[in-house]
Amino acid sequence: MLANLNHYRAVALSHYPEEMMRLVVPALGAPEHISAWCYNGNIPRRFRLIGYWGMTPDYSRVLKPYKNPTDRRIKALVAAGSEGTPIYEWWDDIQLVKNVSAEKTEHPCPLPLRLVSRILTLCANPGDLILDPFMGSGTTLVAARDLGMKAVGIEMDERYCEIAARRLQAR
């Protein structure tokens, strides 16, 4: 199934490190770039890899606030119009969707909307068509629409399709 993704211009995929190396890399080859999403949790795996095939993410598209806004060098950058510094490949500012999270759905393991929005921001443009062949609760479709992109989702579980439809209608 994944080998067919080679026909697309570019692929970004988030997965646990073991499965990324064991299943995805043999199917798609080595990614051009990898980011790590690190999160706090009481579970054994506390990070996922985000692999990029056919593209390199543009980290200058997502800025994080300066840590020391009172520093004279930072003040000079802000005065010159800078709004922050590009993020790095190690993301620890986005946490898992927990049972008490506002974005929790009936799906057992949804990706956070901020995570998917960041991935799309780094590697796609408004108007681009995004394909999510494992749509789940529709997070990618919601993020794409919020960012002015088109999206198509594929999901074999009808319950998850219904969740995705409700999420899209509610926004």
Tell me, yes or no, whether 74 and 109 share the same domain: no
What is the predicted pLDDT for the residue at 7?
52
Strands 33-38 and 90-91: parallel
Tell me, yes or no, whether 121 and 167 share the same domain: yes
Burial class (CB in 10 A: 0-12, 13-18, 19+), 5: middle
Which H or E element spans position 89? none
Tell me, yes or no, whether 141 and 101 share the same domain: yes
pLDDT in tens, 21-38: 888 889 889 999 999 998
pTM comes to 0.81
Tell me, yes or no, whether 1 and 12 share the same domain: yes
Tell me, yes or no, whether 76 and 112 share the same domain: no
Which amino acid is located at 7 in the chain?
H
Spatial distance between the Cα atoms of 148 and 165, rounded to a whole number of angstroms: 18
For the record, the structure tokens of 28 come out as 């798609």
Tell me, yes or no, whether 98 and 171 share the same domain: yes
Tell me, yes or no, whether 125 and 53 share the same domain: no
What is the predicted pLDDT for the residue at 151?
94
Q: What is the number of structural domains in the chain?
A: 3
Tell me, yes or no, whether 84 and 50 share the same domain: no
pLDDT in tens, 61-109: 999 989 898 999 999 999 999 999 988 888 888 888 877 677 888 888 8
Tell me, yes or no, whether 75 and 4 share the same domain: no
Give the mean pLDDT of the chain.
87
Q: Sorting pLDDT into bands at 50, 70 and 90, what band is 9?
A: low
How large a percentage of the chain has pLDDT more than 90? Answer: 53
What's the CATH code of the domain at 146?
Answer: 3.40.50.150
What is the predicted pLDDT for the residue at 1?
41
- DSSP per-residue codes, 119-164: HHHHH--TT-EEEETT-TTSHHHHHHHHTT-EEEE--S-HHHHHHH
| Long-range contacts of the stretch 34-37 (C-beta < 8 A, 24+) | 34/89, 35/89, 35/90, 35/91, 36/89, 36/90, 36/91, 37/91, 37/94, 37/115
Domain boundaries, position 81: 58-91
Tell me, yes or no, whether 145 and 169 share the same domain: yes
Tell me, yes or no, whether 102 and 85 share the same domain: no
Tell me, yes or no, whether 87 and 100 share the same domain: no
Mean pLDDT, residues 122-150 taken together: 94
- Asked if residues 55 and 10 have their Cβ atoms less than 8 Å apart, the reply is yes
